[in-house]
């Protein structure tokens, strides 16, 4: 097993991995232990126990692992040492993959032109997002190892996630979700600074990445109250717009469950347009587009995870900078429509 790190940080990474595979941690991520994940956890515990404390360099550690007898139930892990190391690398502060975690989040925000929201965060908030991405990425990698030693490949607990991920690294895939949370939390912080009471609801309210698909994804994620007004808000990043040939509307991506969730007068979809590379749309850069009761809005069309909206909505939108300078009452009127 290649261990390109100091023995002490490798030992720490193993202990973190053991903790990530316990029932409580997996339960927080929407899954649960199974025979092979428990076996993986036992292997990691055995490995940790068999690194003598007096060994403090890489060469002696390798020699030690080659000399000791591996229990029969753990020999299957020898052929998966590369994948196991991948998961452990994410947990080691000295590893390049660990260092690149923050950049993965920022790059995902940059794709839609929202990286300034990340840059405005406190170091404490950044650390919270990075820690969550590190844990979710390592947990996924460990469960993949457990699945690969399984004799029953029909029981993969994260198969749907695995299919959605495609060729992307776990941190690339998960950071897209975190980028959405960063934008939501930035908008939420702005509202709270104006005196609004904001409550995260829905499947992502705990800001814990789920490793299995969960129910209730159509629910809007933010409940907002100001005086006697109560609204449900969904905030979506927009980084690309298009106008199909012959169409009079502007098209952008929106997941079906977010369209279907906007089915009432108190439901508000907010499109936060980022930095647009298309010259013809640059006047809409960093605009906040407010759409009420989207499912029942006759001016809006939906098909194939895309919505089409009138250009007037973008022209009428207020920029993020302008919104930050408005009063609570002005924001309430914009959200409620009067």
Do 51 and 161 lie in one domain? The reply is: yes
Q: Name the domain boundary from 175, 203, 228.
A: 175
pLDDT band at 3 (very low <50, low <70, confident <90, very high): very low
Do 154 and 243 lie in one domain? The reply is: no
Q: H/E element holding 330? A: helix 328-336
Compute the C-alpha angle 227/232/233, nearest 5°: 110
What is the domain range of residue 326? 216-336
Do 224 and 328 lie in one domain? The reply is: yes
CATH number for the domain that contains residue 248: 3.40.1350
pLDDT in tens, 61-113: 777 777 888 899 999 888 888 888 889 989 988 888 999 999 999 999 999 99
Pick from 255, 31, 39: nearest CA to 161: 31
Look-up of token digits 């960063």 = 182
Q: Give domain status of residue 140, yes or no.
A: yes
Through-space distance between the first and last CA atoms of the chain, rounded to whole angstroms: 65
DSSP-derived 3-state class of residue 307: strand
pLDDT band at 12 (very low <50, low <70, confident <90, very high): very high
Q: Give domain status of residue 197, yes or no.
A: no
Q: Which tokens sit at 48?
A: 């940790």
pLDDT in tens, 285-305: 999 999 999 999 999 999 999
Q: H/E element holding 243? A: none
Calculate what percentage of the chain has a pLDDT beyond 70.
94
Long-range CB contacts (< 8 A, 24+ apart) of 169-172?
169/137, 170/136, 170/137, 170/140, 170/141, 171/90, 171/97, 171/100, 171/101, 171/104, 171/133, 171/137, 172/104, 172/108
> How many independent structural domains does the chain possess?
2
Do 232 and 299 lie in one domain? The reply is: yes
Q: Give domain status of residue 180, yes or no.
A: no
- Tell me the whole-structure pTM to 2 decimals: 0.90
Residues 6+ apart with CB under 8 A from 124: none
Do 39 and 120 lie in one domain? The reply is: yes
pLDDT in tens, 23-62: 999 999 999 898 899 999 999 999 999 888 877 766 777 7
Do 166 and 41 lie in one domain? The reply is: yes
pLDDT band at 182 (very low <50, low <70, confident <90, very high): very high
Residues 6+ apart with CB under 8 A from 69: none
Length of the chain, in residues = 338
Q: Give domain status of residue 111, yes or no.
A: yes
Q: Name the domain boundary from 175, 198, 229.
A: 175
Q: Which tokens sit at 215?
A: 């129910």
């Amino acid at each position: 097993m290649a261990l390109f790190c100091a023995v002490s940080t490798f030992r720490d990474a193993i202990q973190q991995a053991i903790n990530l595979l316990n029932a409580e941690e997996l339960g927080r991520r929407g899954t649960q232990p199974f025979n092979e994940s428990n076996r993986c956890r036992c292997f990691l515990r055995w490995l940790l126990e068999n690194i003598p404390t007096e060994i403090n360099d890489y060469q002696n550690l390798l020699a030690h692992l080659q000399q000791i007898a591996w229990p029969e139930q753990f020999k299957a892990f020898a052929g998966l040492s590369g994948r196991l190391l991948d998961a452990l690398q994410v947990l080691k502060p000295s590893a390049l993959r660990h260092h690149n975690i923050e950049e993965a989040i920022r790059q995902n925000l940059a794709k839609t032109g929202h990286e300034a929201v990340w840059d405005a965060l406190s170091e404490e908030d950044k650390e919270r997002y990075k820690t969550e991405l590190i844990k979710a990425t390592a947990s996924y990698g460990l469960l993949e190892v457990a699945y690969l030693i399984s004799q029953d490949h029909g029981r993969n607990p994260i198969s749907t996630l695995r299919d959605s991920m495609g060729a992307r690294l776990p941190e690339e895939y998960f950071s897209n979700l975190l980028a959405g949370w960063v934008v939501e939390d930035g908008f939420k912080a702005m509202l709270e600074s104006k005196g609004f009471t904001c409550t995260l609801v829905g499947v992502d309210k705990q800001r814990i990445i789920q490793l299995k698909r969960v129910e209730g994804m159509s629910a809007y994620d933010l409940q907002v109250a100001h005086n006697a007004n109560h609204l449900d808000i969904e905030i979506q990043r927009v980084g690309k717009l298009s106008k199909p040939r012959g169409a009079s509307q502007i098209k952008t991506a929106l997941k079906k469950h977010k369209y279907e969730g906007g089915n009432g007068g108190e439901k508000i979809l907010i499109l936060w347009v980022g930095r647009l590379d298309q010259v013809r749309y640059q006047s809409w850069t960093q605009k906040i587009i407010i759409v009420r009761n989207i499912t029942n809005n006759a001016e809006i069309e939906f098909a194939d995870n895309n919505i089409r909206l009138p250009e007037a909505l973008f022209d009428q939108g207020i920029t993020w900078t302008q919104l930050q300078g408005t009063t609570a009452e002005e924001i309430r009127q914009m959200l409620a429509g009067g």
